């Protein structure tokens, strides 16, 4: 399967703590993207990291990519209750096609 596998499937933390979620995949990629989805709604793009990049930052988000291990991680620092959502990695395997990972459900408690 070209799909990314994310772990953990679910993560429950307190406000102020950091949250780390991982994405592993098996195919070659052009870039890897992370999206957030609030319950039952559309997805919001968070960050895109190209295959020749190793790390990117955006605000409280830090993404790493290790193409030799075929894995990526998303770190959310100083989490807030508003960060509660599902997070998906998405693999760009060619042309305009994105294949979404299995997702991590994050719950941040006040």
Q: Does 63 bind another protein (CB under 8 A)?
A: no
Residue 26 vs 78, nearer CB to another protein:
26
Question: Can you read off the two tokens belonging to residue 39?
Answer: 């319950």
Question: Can you read off the two tokens belonging to residue 19?
Answer: 């949250």
Compute the distance between CA of residue 59 and CA of residue 80 in angstroms, rounded to an integer. 13
First to last CA, the chain: 38
Selected from 56, 61, 100, 107, the binder of another protein by CB under 8 A is 100
- Quick note: the x/- pattern for another protein over 1-40, rule CB under 8 A, is --x--------------------------xx-x-x----x
Pairing of strands 19-24, 97-100: unpaired
Chain residues binding another protein by CB under 8 A are 3, 30-31, 33, 35, 40-45, 48, 50, 88, 92, 94-103
């Amino acid at each position: 399967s070209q799909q990314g596998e994310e772990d953990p499937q679910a993560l429950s933390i307190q406000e102020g703590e950091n949250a780390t979620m991982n994405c592993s995949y098996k195919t070659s990629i052009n870039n890897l993207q992370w999206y957030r989805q609030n319950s039952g709604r559309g997805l919001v793009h968070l960050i895109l990291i190209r295959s020749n990049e190793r790390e990117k930052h955006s605000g409280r988000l830090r993404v790493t990519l290790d193409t030799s291990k075929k894995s990526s991680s998303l770190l959310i620092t100083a989490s807030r209750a508003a960060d509660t959502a599902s997070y998906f990695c998405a693999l760009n395997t060619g042309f305009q096609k994105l294949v979404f990972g299995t997702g991590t459900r994050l719950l941040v408690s006040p």
